Chain A
Amino acid sequence: MSDNSDLEFVFVARVDDVPAGKNRCFEVEGRGVLLCAFHSGMKAVENICPHEKISLEGGRLRGAGKIVCPHHGSNFDVDDDGKALGAPAVLPITVFPVRVEDGNVYVQLVTAKRGPDNPFAIPGVKLNF
């Protein structure tokens, strides 16, 4: 997202704070940042599953960048901008760009993705009420 590209990277935690293959949530500037210690590297997502808007913490990490919600099993590809890979979620998760320096993990707190205010809204259709 271009409007987020100039965001500064803010410190979240030490790499060592997250065991390999696990994830852990840290609160940064009021946002839940879920650091995911994939074998392919440290990745970060907003700690909200877009299905029921609840925590992803503790969700299983699979492959190079997939995280599975621990509640209802929605599966997201962190490497594909958080795309939902299987129902029940259809909306993506928010992915934070990550930088690791000297064992410190920094992220850009990009704007959260969100669903429509009116779930019934249809692209291109203006409804009265």
Chain B
Amino acid sequence: MVAITRVTESVQTPAEKANDPDMGSEIIPKERYISKDFMDKEWDKMWTKIWLVMCREDQIPEIGDYITTEIGKESLLITRGDDGEVHAMYNVCQHRGNQVKFDKMGSAKTLRCAYHMWEYDLSGKLITVPDEEDFEQGCDKDKLSLRTVKADTWGGFVWVSLDPNSVPLTDFLGMVPQHLDPYRFEDMAMVMNQTVEWDCNWKTSVDAFNEVYHVQSIHPELAYSIDDVDVQIDLYELHNRYLVPFQTYSPRLGVELEEVPEAIAMPMQAMGMNPEDYKGKVADIRVDMQKFKRKNEKSLGRDYSMFNDDQLTDDYHYNIFPNLTLNVHSDNMMLFIQRPHPTDPNKMLFDMQMFVQLPDGTDNPPPADHEQFKHGERSLGLVLDQDSVNLPHVQIGLNSDAYDGYHISGQERRIRHMHVGLMDYINGKYATDA
């Protein structure tokens, strides 16, 4: 039978199991997923208080580059200012309320509203108002500048907080940089950037990736490349993770595999290992692949010195509170950003972004263009199609009078943990205003 060994000492990313807090086993009320009132509370008490990923720094590399993006009902404009720094502001002209920019990404010397050509500099400061003398009340350039929001960067991402009094980004991230800096997200290339409109609450989606309980039923294929049983779950203050062994197989199969499954053979071949050597020894592959990558890191164009051995094969899977899901691997990272709909708790935006760490000395291509479409209009790949197929139906069930809320297992405790953080925000534990 396949037996997983885990590293006990790590380099930087901790490998040890975190203590499990007692979170009880109460039902998680369905109202949090369907109620407009609760959705409004989330907006007032959480979304406008936390730090949010908005874009990549390399999506606005040059002075004047900008992107627009939305969080809930707000449209934000992120620019590279004349000072070379990232600036973030509400994308709303202070004259008649028009969105200053409608396009997803562009470049400009100044930000001019397309309606009456009010002109702002790249940091949002109002510069010129046509026929300014016609405003008998005057045009106070300070008061009528674009409303800015706090921006900072980590991991190559631009983060914003709508709360002027928010804690610094590093405080919000807590243990995250210690855990994830070794992956050098800032050096990765964004090779996919899609937004899918899903008919479910944003949490319904976050939950789908916060447990492996569903793997045996929804993803039977994955029994041949991952171990969905020996999963270490670590709950920190706000954020959490699980560590899933990859390049192995599930004990749920109940047999020793003789042949190397295709899903394991492919990455082996890509890095120069011979799957034929592992006939009848499939359980050895995971650790041998770790050794192989370590030994051949130079020829692979890699630097694995900041990783422990498990990080060379396994999925270090993080939930950065509340809405970021990261499948983190030594050579790539898949990010899901789960955004609330502006008005409807039964809808959300699912951002799916793929990042790859190219071999050292390789220039990154420009970040992938953004695409947006509705659920089902195209495939997201087998695993994500399987993950997403239930979600609109879960949402319908959550709205039923015949359902009270989540009755969940220990394997699903990351879901409960996310709710602890959510309710702490709702109840004011992290309130910053006096």
A contacts, CB < 8 Å to B? 51-53, 72, 87-88, 90-91, 115-129
Contacts and interface: CB of A to CB of B under 8 A. Distances in A.
B23 interface: no
A50 to B, nearest CB: 10
Nearest to B262: A117
Interface of B: 191-192, 217-222, 225, 262-263, 266-268, 270-271, 331-332, 354, 356-359, 378-386, 389-390, 393
User: Which 6 A-B pairs have CB atoms at the shortest separation, nearest pair first?
Assistant: A129-B267, A122-B381, A119-B221, A117-B262, A129-B270, A87-B389
Nearest to A84: B389
Contact of A121 (B219, B270, B357, B381): B381
Contact of A118 (B262, B332, B359, B393): B262
A49 to B, nearest CB: 10
A117 B384 CA distance: 15
A124 to B, nearest CB: 7
Contact of A116 (B191, B331, B359, B382): B382
Contacts of A91: 382
A34 to B, nearest CB: 20
Contacts of A121: 381-382
A120 B263 contact: yes
A123 B389 contact: no
Most B Cβ at <10 Å: residue of A122, A123, A127, A129? A129
A128 B383 CA distance: 18
21 contacts: A53-B220, A72-B217, A87-B386, A87-B390, A88-B218, A90-B385, A90-B386, A90-B389, A120-B382, A121-B381, A122-B192, A122-B384, A123-B379, A125-B354, A127-B332, A127-B354, A127-B356, A128-B357, A128-B358, A129-B270, A129-B271
B135 to A, nearest CB: 51
Contact of B382 (A52, A53, A119, A125): A119
